[in-house]
Amino acid sequence: MDRPVDRPGDRPGDRAGDPLPPGQRLVAGWPVSHYGPVPRFRPERWDLKVFGATAGGVTVSRTWEQVTALPRTTVVADLHCATGTTSTGHEWFGVPPEVVLGLAPPAERVTHVMIWAEYGYSANLRLSDFTAPGTLLATHHGGEPLTAEHGFPLRLVVPHLYGYKSVKWLRGIEYLTADRPGFWEERGYHNTGEVSTGRRYSYEEESRR
């Protein structure tokens, strides 16, 4: 498919309605894709923790009720699974990353974050990808709370990176001073996962070629 004239500053694949990125095919509806079981939400036990290399060395913890009181915004974007399926036009509503950075400022030497989910699923991100426009800690989709299988009560959305970075059932954000692979990154998937490059696997990483 022909790409339109480049719009400076845009990254292909991070806007709803963009032409499909390399190797992706459009699917009808919104498939559910994840490894392992769907966790049950227990509000009295649930918390969101921001930990690791925080500026003050402290761990910040928020209850579900506190999370729902944080400022929220809307993002519309496509979702690209690394297996090649793309679902389009997702309207997400949730907490922008800068609100998290405000709650728990990272130490100056922080370069990456590890996003943690229920059952130990994780994904690593460069700090710049975590703070990129479009990244969101989503509570809602299409005006409704997330469904259980799509990550209720809270999930990350990183539209310009492959789906394995969009961690469902989000529980923790760990500030890192050096990169470390997450769940799929440890199992052969590309460390940074930019959709625009079409590079899905670790053997395609620039440092290995």
Residues 47-86 that bind ligand MTE (CB under 6 A): 79, 81
Work out how close the CB of 134 gets to Mo ion at its nearest, in angstroms, rounded to a whole number.
17
The residue from 163, 172, 182, 193 that contacts Mo ion (CB under 5 A) is 163
Helices (H) and strands (E) in the chain, counts: 3, 11
d(CA 95, CA 71): 6
Cβ atoms of 171 and 143 within 8 Å: the answer is no
Residue 54, contacted partner among Mo ion, ligand MTE, none, CB below 5-8 A by kind: none
Measured at the CA of 79, the angle between CA 124 and CA 183, to 5 degrees, comes to 25
Residues 131-160 that bind ligand MTE (CB under 6 A): 150
Stretch that binds Mo ion, among 18-26, 73-81, 148-156, 201-209 (CB under 5 A): 73-81
User: Which residue pairs, CB below 8 angstroms and at least 24 apart, start in 196-205?
Assistant: 196/11, 196/12, 196/13, 196/21, 196/22, 196/160, 197/22, 198/21, 198/22, 198/23, 200/23, 200/82, 200/162
d(CA 90, CA 159): 10
Work out how close the CB of 5 gets to Mo ion at its nearest, in angstroms, rounded to a whole number.
30
Asked if 27 is part of the footprint of Mo ion (rule: CB under 5 A), the reply reads: no
SS3 (DSSP) at 66: helix
Asked if 159 is part of the footprint of Mo ion (rule: CB under 5 A), the reply reads: no
Asked if 130 is part of the footprint of ligand MTE (rule: CB under 6 A), the reply reads: no
Stretch that binds ligand MTE, among 17-25, 105-113, 164-172, 174-182 (CB under 6 A): 164-172
Asked if 33 is part of the footprint of ligand MTE (rule: CB under 6 A), the reply reads: yes
Q: Which residue is nearest to ligand MTE (CB)?
A: 163
Matching residue, tokens 């994904």: 123
CA 190 distance to own-chain centroid: 15
The residue from 166, 171, 174, 175 that contacts ligand MTE (CB under 6 A) is 166
Task: Catalog residues that contact ligand MTE under the rule CB under 6 A.
Answer: 30-35, 79, 81, 117, 121, 150, 163-164, 166-169
